[in-house]
Chain A
Amino acid sequence: MQIFVNDEPVTVGAANLAEVLTELGYTQIRIATAVNGDFVPASQRAARLLVPGTRIEIVAPMQGG
């Protein structure tokens, strides 16, 4: 199915957020995630099922003021 990761269209086979992260190479990485604008804690990623068109945000530490 096609979903959107950080606004980029991506086709994935995985059905939940945890599997999508693995499929896309976000392994052993310090990130946080949101689905359709809502925060999804790491502990809940496997239970978060995705449907076509789902919008995922993946963020990591960045310099800030």
Chain B
Amino acid sequence: MLFYGTELSSPLMLGTAQYPSPDILSETVKVSGAGVITVSLRRESANLRAGQAFWSLLQDLNVPLLPNTAGCHTVKEAVTTAHMAREVFNTDWIKLEVIGESDTLQPDVFGLVEAARILTEDGFKVFPYMTEDLVVAERLLAAGCEVLMPWGAPIGSGRGLNNVFGLRSLRAHFPNVPLVVDAGIGLPSHAAQAMELGYDAVLINTAVAKAADPIAMARAFSLAVEAGRLGREAGPMEPRDMASPSTPMLGLASLS
């Protein structure tokens, strides 16, 4: 599946926040084989220049960047942040977040659609962080989005795929739209499940960064997304309610 005409080297999208150190972040990204890494913007001090060191690290990693609008609660904040991100990171890709509720970090889907329309008209390639709502998906596609990123669970919660039915419905309704489960994945098995549902990628940050060993966890997620994708492509069996013996009954010895 192409993301705005670009084929990713891996369906694993990896966030760069919350790692124990820049060195561990760098090694984790390399081990993960991530096809995309997400980045953000924050205030810069002329003296400390923290952002410049991070920029050097990104240059060394040489992985495609997906800047986000994390922390934005209004359309104006998100649109302005997107413009600043495009200039700083030199990419028209933007992971669009318009947060509507502080406890769950649930997206404000009304503001999201409006911001997506504005940014698409401004030439951005928008990756919208959304709920798994079908109607919101339709509105985002109509606004010009060519990728959809429904949440699995609230950001950083690690609860996995809270609404498998909804995610499956989204996949079924939009078979040709690249779909990414963004947020809430806590375990490699959650990532494999998303891929088994037919999703094209998963975006993970906290589950790797906050693991006791982020580098090992990155490897685990890398294997999980590959396993899930292969399983999907191999054509899973249909589940059934009753047992069916896997060992043939024909020729069973009569021992009673």
Interface residues of chain A, those whose CB is within 8 Å of chain B, are 6, 24-26, 29-34, 37-39, 41-42, 57-65
Contact = CB atoms under 8 A, between A and B. Distances in A.
Interface string B43-61: 1111101111011001000
Given A26-B44, A26-B46, A60-B42, 13 more contacts: A24-B46, A32-B41, A57-B43, A60-B52, A61-B41, A61-B55, A61-B58, A62-B42, A64-B15, A64-B16, A64-B41, A65-B16, A65-B206
Nearest to B47: A25
A45 B45 CA distance: 18
Interface residues of B, number: 39
Interface string B73-96: 000100010011101110000000
B25 interface: yes
Contacts, number: 107
Contact of B46 (A29, A57, A64): A29
B70 interface: yes
B52 A64 contact: no
A43 B19 CA distance: 35
B128 interface: no
Contacts of A58: 43-44
Given A24-B46, A59-B42, A37 B76 contact: yes
A9 B24 CA distance: 37
A65 B18 CA distance: 9
Contacts of B19: 63
Given A26-B46, A63-B16, A65-B206, A32 B85 contact: yes
Contact of A64 (B17, B55, B80, B87): B17
Contact of A30 (B17, B67, B88, B203): B88
Contacts of A24: 46
Given A26-B46, A58-B44, A60-B41, A65 B51 contact: no
A38 B81 CA distance: 9
Contacts of B41: 32, 59-62, 64
18 contacts: A29-B46, A29-B52, A30-B51, A32-B85, A34-B80, A38-B80, A39-B83, A41-B87, A59-B88, A61-B88, A62-B41, A63-B16, A64-B41, A64-B70, A65-B18, A65-B38, A65-B155, A65-B206
Nearest to B76: A37
Contacts of B70: 64-65
A41 B206 CA distance: 33
